[in-house]
């Protein structure tokens, strides 16, 4: 039987990446527990060219996704690595006005009615500082969450890869979250 439905987000990991001499180097993914929701809106444009009284040609431009990841809390390590926060001599984690955002790869798992699939968004660039909202305690506890907004962009190494799905039959399924990702190499030519 084939998969019928997707549900559940888990095993969110971040991986640092560097781009030099036309190639990417990824680091071993690091877990970021506490993920609530990942929203991925396609950033895809088409332009229709009219000729001979009809749509003659359609251009397509796949720019990736506009994404938002909601988490219970941002880990300090994420704030330092990807948001440019700094540590003081007293051990405080400080946001500075000159902190630089750093691109990352995002790996995660989605449950299905069969076995979970694992995914990677290869190159992600933060587009907005996270917003925070803290409230006083009332008659019931409301958990504050944080949302990270980012663009998932194509790799610039010639593969043009944006995301990949790792089904349970893939060779790297068992080690997906424990080994450094790599740019894809294709076994078939693009159509």
pLDDT confidence of residue 16 = 96
Percent of the residues in the chain that have a pLDDT greater than 90, as a whole number: 79
pLDDT confidence of residue 98 = 94
State the average pLDDT over residues 46-57.
92
CA dihedral 14, 19, 25, 29 (to 10 degrees): 0
Identify the DSSP state of 67.
Answer: E
pLDDT tops 70 at residue 1:
no
pLDDT tops 80 at residue 2:
no
pLDDT confidence of residue 12 = 97
Identify the DSSP state of 162.
Answer: -
Percent of the residues in the chain that have a pLDDT greater than 70, as a whole number: 98
pLDDT confidence of residue 141 = 87
pLDDT tens digits for range 82-99: 999 999 999 999 999 999
pLDDT category at 3 given cuts 50, 70, 90 is confident
User: Is 149 within 8 Å of 135 (Cβ atoms)?
Assistant: no
β-pair partners for 20: 23
Measured CA to CA in angstroms, residue 106 lies from 31, 95, 119, 137, 175 at distances of 10, 23, 8, 33, 15
State the average pLDDT over residues 5-24.
93
Buried b (16+ CB within 10 A) or exposed e, 130-168: beeeeeeeeeeeeeeebbbebbbbebebeeebbeeebee
Q: What is the CA radius of gyration of the chain?
A: 20
State the average pLDDT over residues 126-153.
90
State the average pLDDT over residues 9-22.
95
User: Is 180 within 8 Å of 111 (Cβ atoms)?
Assistant: no
pLDDT category at 102 given cuts 50, 70, 90 is very high
pLDDT confidence of residue 64 = 95
Q: Rounded CA gap, 161 and 33, in Å?
A: 26
């Amino acid at each position: 039987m084939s998969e019928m439905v997707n549900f559940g987000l888990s095993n969110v990991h971040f991986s640092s990446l560097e781009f030099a001499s036309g190639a990417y180097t990824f680091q071993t993914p690091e877990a970021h527990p506490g993920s609530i929701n990942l929203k991925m809106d396609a950033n895809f444009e088409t332009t229709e060219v009219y000729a001979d009284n009809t749509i003659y040609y359609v251009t397509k431009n796949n720019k990736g996704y506009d994404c938002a990841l909601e988490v219970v809390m941002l880990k300090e390590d994420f704030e330092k690595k990807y948001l440019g926060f700094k540590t003081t001599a007293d051990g405080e984690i400080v946001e500075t006005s000159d902190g630089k955002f750093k691109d990352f790869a995002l790996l995660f798992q989605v449950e299905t009615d069969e076995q979970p699939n694992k995914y990677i968004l290869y190159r992600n660039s933060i587009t907005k500082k996270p917003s925070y909202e803290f409230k006083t305690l009332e008659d019931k506890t409301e958990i504050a969450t944080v949302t990270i907004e980012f663009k998932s962009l194509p790799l610039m190494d010639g593969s043009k890869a944006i995301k990949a799905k790792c089904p349970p039959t893939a060779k790297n399924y068992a080690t997906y979250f424990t080994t450094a990702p790599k740019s894809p190499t294709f076994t078939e030519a693009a159509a």
